[in-house]
A and B are shown apart, each in its own frame.
Chain A
Amino acid sequence: MSFKSNNKVVQWVEDRLPVISVMHHAIYDYPMPKNLNYLWNFGSLAGFALVTMIATGIFLAMQYTPHVDMAFNSVERIMRDVNSGWLIRYIHMNMASFFFIAVYIHMFRGLYYGSYKAPRELLWQLGVVIFLLMMATAFMGYVLPWGQMSFWGATVITNLFSAFPIVGESIVSWLWGGFSVDNPTLNRFFALHYLLPFIIVAVVALHLVALHTVGSNNPLGIDSKGPQDSLVMQPYYTIKDLFGIGVFLLAFSVFLFWAPNYMGHPDNYIPANPLSTPAHIVPEWYFLPFYAILRAIPDKLGGVLAMFGAIAVLFVLPWLDRSSIRSCKFRPVARIFFWIFVINGLALGYLGGQPAEGIFVIASRIATAYYFFHFLVMLPVILPMIERPRELPSSIHEAVTKS
């Protein structure tokens, strides 16, 4: 790195700690493929959401009391008495959902354009780790207000671990610190909910190091061959990312100011009652597809394994998809099945929110079977047999200037 500065202080720091050159490279002269579309905004949007969550979370933690007798009221106090408390909490609540929206689009972008393929396998896997950590963090955060959904969501999810033979019961009682979800559980969830976001930041840093090592994928899925295929980060993509954040915040503000509880559940404004289960327990919307998979299997351990398997399969995806073509632009059959997979995913999300009876159970089973069929049969076995990919352009520059 041949970074030189005219500023003596900057150069003095740089000679002892090369942090400025690293930042400079990441924000200024980092070369990006010049054909990125708006789907490439969602990584920076997810990063923005993470920073917002940590910033608002720190101030919420200053007002919150992690005790079963006081937690619910301390959250109500934040909403009513703390200066701007309602705003900070509503930002935290709604940005959690928007964080998942950004990350889900980011993941589907990766699926469509084959961003998980060599040499980006570790980049993709680090992303799956971030996704898992996000789910754990979001789940524990939802428990903190100690409403009915907090309590029963915590009960149902921690009970998943009781499905494991022999050690299951001990694991659950270890997770709870007692014989049911109670004060020790709330305390440790608060501690972990504060800790995990910083671990996410660390994994995001690794994600970015891996990204800067192998470079961004692009809509054509072919490698950059030189400067004629690239644009530098500043000002082209910094401005594009900032513009994206502006649009993202517009959509976010609609929910924040006009429907702040739309994505929540009214039962969570009832204080937790360990003796009465709400008639219909549903997790937050971003867990619904996995919840549908859990309920689709008529066996307790089987359901739990299927749910964890639905994420584990993403981890090995780079080796399941055997096509050497990355982008679905040049994969006429894979593209169709990608959209079927998206619709199937949305269907699972819908089914996860419905009661587990009648037609919904059957539909959940079909959708669950298709989810695994896509990864375990369609990608590795059927597509290589039936698909003839289109011809790839010889370079990004050629493809961009021709059209």
Chain B
Amino acid sequence: MADGANPESSAQESGETRREFLYLTAGAMTVVGAAGALWPMIDSMNPSADVLALSSTEVDLTPIEAGQSVTITWRGKPVFIRRRSVAEIETAESTPLEDLPDPQTDGDRVEKPEWLILVGVCTHLGCVPLGQKTGEKRGDYGGWFCPCHGSHYDTSGRIRKGPAPTNLEVPPYVFLTDNSIKIG
């Protein structure tokens, strides 16, 4: 329509756009309101305060001999603590970074080379890898082996072979004394 040529039709047109605008804003507000009402319900499924409160664990390292591993529980997950032998530390430190699917130096993964502390959950689909107990399969790289889908981890807990995308996670921890740590 030409400008002002037909006043009736242009009024109708502007009426329609005003109505459309009202529909749109009212519709948008409804969506915002509904999303706002839905959020508390969705958020109620996230970890609750009591679950979050259980988020740190202290461990006494004194009884662990060199070459020995123990498994403790932190946030419902197993945490592997391995007191590595000199040979294990050496292999982990001397591995060239280009051999690693998820490159990370051994030094970045430990506070003290003797103590390797890892979340014992395979980064593929969450199984607990084998290799903590003596006699268990440790995989081709002497660390851990996940029996579910065949991921091999080395003596630094780094992924070497198999479907897992990343290295075994290192949990946040601090040494309280020389022989005890706090995880979380």
A residues apposed to B, CB below 8 Å: 152, 155-156, 158-160, 162, 173-182, 184, 188, 274-277, 279-281, 295, 298-301, 303, 356-357
Interface residue? B75 (CB, 8 A): yes
Closest A residue to B132 using CB positions: A275
Q: CB within 8 A of A179: which of B45, B47, B150?
A: B47
Residue B28, interface by CB 8 Å: no
One of B48, B71, B148, B165 near A156 (C-beta < 8 A): B148
Closest to B165 in A: A300
Contacts A155-B127, A159-B125: A275 and B51 contacting too (C-beta < 8 A)? no
Task: Output the least CB separation between A93 and chain B (Å).
Answer: 24
CB <8 Å contact, A160 and B125 = yes
Identify 13 residue pairs between A and B in the complex whose beta-carbon atoms are under 8 Å apart, listed by A's number: A156-B126, A173-B47, A177-B45, A179-B76, A184-B45, A275-B71, A275-B78, A295-B163, A299-B165, A300-B124, A300-B125, A301-B165, A356-B148
B57-97 with Cβ < 8 A to chain A: 71, 73, 75-78
| Size category, B interface | 20 to 34
CB distance A300 to B164 under 8 Å? yes
Report the Cα distance A179→B165, complex, angstroms: 19
In the complex, residue of chain B having the shortest beta-carbon distance to the beta carbon of A281 = B148
Q: A156-B127, A177-B51, A300-B165 are in contact. Are A357 and B148 (CB under 8 A)?
A: no
Select which of B45, B126, B127 is within 8 A of A174 by beta carbon: B45
CB atoms of B150 and A274 under 8 A apart: no
Q: Are A281 and B127 in contact (CB under 8 A)?
A: yes
CA distance A159 to B146 in the complex (A): 15
A177 CB to nearest chain B CB (Å): 6
Q: In the bound complex, do residue B149 and residue A180 qualify as a contact, i.e. CB atoms below 8 Å apart?
A: no
Given A173-B46, A177-B46, A300-B165, A159-B126 contact (CB < 8 Å): yes
Instruction: Take A177-B45, A356-B150 as given contacts and tell me if A276 and B75 are in contact as well, using a CB distance cutoff of 8 Å.
Output: no
Q: Judge if B103 is at the interface, Cβ distance under 8 Å.
A: no
Asked if A179 and B128 sit within 8 Å, CB to CB, the answer is no
A276 to B129, CA, bound (A): 9
Contact of B147 among A173, A180, A277, A299 (CB under 8 A): A277
By a CB distance below 8 angstroms, the chain B residues around A176 are 47
- Flag B96-123 by CB within 8 Å of A: 1 or 0 each: 0000000000000000000000000100
Complexed CA–CA distance, A275 and B127 (Å): 9
Which of A156, A173, A177, A178 has the most chain B CB atoms inside 10 A of its CB? Answer: A178
Residue of A nearest to B128 (CB): A277
Interface residues of B (CB under 8 A from A): 42, 45-48, 51, 55, 71, 73, 75-78, 121, 124-128, 146-150, 163-165
Closest 8 CB pairs of A and B: A180-B76, A179-B75, A159-B126, A277-B127, A159-B125, A156-B125, A155-B126, A277-B128
Which residue, A156, A301, A357, has most C-beta atoms of chain B within 10 A? A156
Docked pose: A188 CA to B148 CA in angstroms:
26
Chain B residues contacting A274 (CB-CB under 8 Å) are 73, 76-78
- C-alpha gap A279/B129 in the complex (Å): 10
Q: How far is the CA of A274 from the CA of B121 in the complex (A)?
A: 10
Residues of A within 8 A of B75 (CB): 178-180
- Residues in A neighbouring B125, C-beta threshold 8 A: 155-156, 159-160, 300
Give Cα A184–Cα B48 distance, bound, in whole angstroms.
9
Find the A residue at minimum CB distance from B164.
A300
**Contact in complex: A178, B47 (CB < 8 Å):** yes
Give the residue of A158, A177, A179, A303 whose beta carbon is less than 8 angstroms from that of B163.
A303
Which of chain A's residues have a CB closer than 8 A to the CB of B149?
Answer: 295, 356
How far does the Cβ of B72 sit from chain A's closest Cβ, in whole Å? 9
With A155-B127, A159-B126, A177-B47 already in contact, the answer to whether A357 and B76 are too (CB < 8 A) is: no
Q: Is the CB of A180 within 8 A of B128?
A: no
Rounded to whole angstroms, the CA-CA distance of A230 and B128 in the bound complex is: 60
Q: Tell me the nearest residue of chain A to B44, going by C-beta.
A: A177
Query: How far apart are the CA atoms of A298 and B73 in the complex, in Å?
Result: 30
Assembly CA distance A298 to B75 (angstroms): 30
Cβ of B168 to closest chain A Cβ, rounded Å: 14
Quote the shortest CB–CB distance from B139 to chain A (angstroms). Answer: 13
> Is the beta-carbon distance between B147 and A179 smaller than 8 angstroms?
no
Closest to A302 in B: B163
Residue of B nearest to A274 (CB): B76
The answer to whether A179 and B77 touch (CB under 8 A), given A281-B148, A298-B163, is: yes
Give Cα A356 to B128, complex, Å: 16
Query: What residues on A are CB-neighbors of B46 within 8 Å?
Result: 173-174, 177
- A175, B42: Cα distance in complex, Å: 10
Q: How far apart are A91's CB and chain B's nearest CB, in angstroms? A: 31
Q: Which residue of A lies closest to B75 (CB)?
A: A179
Q: A178-B51, A180-B77 are contacts. A277–B71 as well, Cβ < 8 Å?
A: no
Contacts of A356 in B (CB 8 A): 148-150
**Min distance, Cβ A196 to any Cβ of chain B, angstroms:** 16
Asked whether B163 lies within 8 Å of A300 as measured between CB atoms, the reply is yes
Question: In the assembled complex, how far is the CB of residue A229 from the closest CB belonging to chain B, in whole angstroms?
Answer: 47
Minimum CB distance partner of B43 in chain A: A174
CA distance A276 to B77 in the complex (A): 11
